[in-house]
Amino acid sequence: MRQINIGLLGCGTVGTGVARMLTENRDLIAARLGAVLNLTRVADLEPDRDRGVALPAGVMVADAHRVVAEPGIDIIVEMIGGEGIARELILSAIENGRHVVTANKALLAAHGNALFQAAAAKGVDLFFEASVGGCMPVIKTLREALVGNRILAMTGILNGTCNYILSKITDEGSRFADALAKAQKEGYAEADPALDVEGRDTAHKLAIMSALAFGMEINLREVYIEGISHLTPLDIELAGQFGYRIKLLAIGKAHADAVEMRVHPTMIPFDNILSNVNGTLNAVSLTGDACGEILLYGRGAGMMPTASAVVGDLVDLARNILSGGAAGRLPGLAYQMANIRRIPVLPIEQISTHYYFRFAALDRPGVLSTIAGILGRHGISIQSVQQKGRKSDGAVPVVMLSHRAREADVQQALAEISALEVSAEKPVLIRIEDHNLVD
Ligand code: HSE
């Protein structure tokens, strides 16, 4: 049977998962592919570490540069991560005419445009299903299944670490730091957990998805990013009292001649399916003009779920090779390179949505009307108000949900309210999506 030779760079958690899947499911994959995916070489700085995968002698080496230059290797799998050596190795694999599979979302978000151009110029494919949503076929769905649709909107829970932390705080009253430590122990968190909790990992994924969905260059720089580290248990609890859960959402929306790309904690109502996606699980809702809304749900991280996506890419590439070298049959970014445009991204100030505000105001006569007056002067209309408790000497939380308002107006109004003498703390703002509120 024909063999397709694979060179794997990096044998950490996901790399080990790929090696394990290619070894344990070798016959199953061969039965489907009609060829063997042969793990020819595995490069890792710790070649002798026991990973619980039986590889033939000589497969494991320490020098990744040697693997990308080795004759006879058809596909390079980059599982090193980061933007330094991984980028160098991918570029040299492409230069050597190898197809490449990567899960490296940070690299693609920062340097993807140049990497895809290099791959196209060399006539090789660069596939990256595992970079977004682990085992969920987000990239395949956007690139292939929905190819006839205009993509109107995407909403995703794309970071297992954040979702786990928020679920633990919401459901069990855990402390932020304890929940993060547990997610790290489970192996979900990035090496630098700030990438997770500050929303940057989610933004990497949104920038990649938006390129495929909207036919735009990967544009991480203009994604609005707000993480979850500033959220308080009080707001999570109050959101619940109003019928919402708080999730870190990636939101991408198509406008007539611009797009929205934003990542921030978002209140979504209990009856929205995404609000019931808990723990380390991920989910992505995609809305197309023909298909309407579809939902993908599953494990967005971890050894075998991520390996599952990598091996899916390997089989696609192997099928192209077996059909006589059909590189470029599936355009990496879903659009032909010549049709990828630079689409303006709406600054956060120009979006318009519903808002949750929490003010910590001294409980004095007239305070509520002063706050409502400022909001009103900025064209922000209040849908409901709740004031909790009464303190003669301290601040009470006043919570308001707004009708649809423009972010720029909201920012200005909150700055004015914050400057009031009766404001005891900086006001809290949480955006609301898929609201049951009246516009
Ligand atoms: N740190 C990521 C997460 C890993 O928590 O989801 C998957 O990209």
Q: Which fold has domain 138-299?
A: Dihydrodipicolinate Reductase; domain 2 (3.30.360)
User: Which residue CA neighbors atom 8 of ligand 1 most closely?
Assistant: 301
Task: Give 118 Cα–ligand 1 centroid separation in angstroms.
Answer: 27
What is residue 20's predicted lDDT score, i.e. its pLDDT? 98
Tens digits of per-residue pLDDT, 355-375?
999 999 887 888 889 999 999
- Residue 44 CA to ligand 1 centre (angstroms): 22
Residue 188 is predicted with a pLDDT of 82
Question: Confidence class of residue 436 from pLDDT cuts 50, 70 and 90?
Answer: low
- Is the beta carbon of 301 within 6 A of some atom in ligand 1? yes
Residue 297 β-bridge partners: 283
Tell me the per-residue pLDDT of 122-171, one tens digit each, with 9 for 90 and over.
Answer: 999 999 999 999 999 999 999 999 999 999 999 999 999 999 999 999 99
The encoded tokens of residue 147 equal 């190819």
Q: How far is CA 327 from the centre of its chain?
A: 27
**Coil, helix or strand at residue 302:** coil
| Ramachandran region, residue 62 (left: φ > 0; alpha: ψ -120 to 50; beta: rest) | alpha
pLDDT of residue 392: 55
The mean pLDDT of the chain is 95
Architecture of domain 3-135+303-337: 3-Layer(aba) Sandwich (3.40)
Q: Which amino acid is at 182?
A: K
Q: What is the pLDDT of residues 34-61, one digit of tens each?
A: 999 999 999 999 999 999 999 999 999 9
Ligand 1 atom at minimal distance to the Cα of residue 196: 1
Mutate to test the pocket of ligand 1, among 104, 162, 196 (most ligand atoms within 8 A of CB): 196
Tell which one of 201, 206, 278, 282 to mutate to probe ligand 1, the residue whose CB is within 8 A of the most ligand atoms: 201
Q: Tell me the helix, strand and coil percentages in the chain, rounded to 5.
A: 40, 25, 35
Q: Give ranges for CATH 3.30.70.260 in the chain.
A: 348-432
C-alpha span between 332 and 140 (Å, rounded): 10
Residue-wise pLDDT for 288-308, tens only, equals 999 999 999 999 999 999 999
In tens, the pLDDT along 196-206 reads: 999 999 999 99
Does any ligand 1 atom lie closer than 6 A to the CB of residue 190? yes
Choosing from 105, 122, 140, 205, the catalytic residue is: 205
Contact 267, 430 (CB under 8 A): yes
Q: How far is the CA of 280 from the centre of ligand 1 (A)?
A: 9
Count how many residues are written for the chain: 439
Backbone angles phi, psi at 270, to 5 degrees: -55, -30
Q: Where in the chain is the domain with CATH 3.30.360.10?
A: 138-299
- Closest C-alpha to ligand 1, atom 7: 301
205 has catalytic annotation: yes
- Any atom of ligand 1 within 6 Å of the Cβ of 208: no
- CB of 246 within 6 A of ligand 1: the answer is no
Distance 301 CA to ligand 1 centre (A): 5
Domain with CATH 3.40.50.720 in the chain: 3-135+303-337
180 lines ligand 1 (CB under 6 A): no
Pocket test for ligand 1, best of 79, 190, 281, 284 (most atoms within 8 A of CB): 190
- The percentage of residues in the chain with a pLDDT greater than 90, rounded to a whole number, is 89
Ligand 1 atom, smallest distance to 183 CA: 5
For 23, counting Cβ atoms within 10 Å of its Cβ (0-12 exposed, 13-18 middle, 19+ buried), the class is middle
Look at phi and psi of residue 280 and say left if phi exceeds 0, alpha if psi is from -120 to 50, else beta: alpha
CATH of 348-432, one of 3.40.640.10, 3.40.50.720, 3.40.1080.10, 3.30.70.260: 3.30.70.260
pLDDT score of 389: 66
Q: Say how many Å lie between the CA of residue 421 and the centre of ligand 1.
A: 43
Q: Does residue 439 surpass a pLDDT of 80?
A: no
Q: Output the pLDDT for position 362.
A: 85
- Spacing, Cα 51 to ligand 1 middle (Å): 21
Measure the N-to-C terminal CA separation of the chain; round to a whole number of Å: 62
The residue ranking higher by pLDDT, 388 or 180, is: 180
Q: How confident is the model at residue 322 (pLDDT cuts 50, 70, 90)?
A: very high
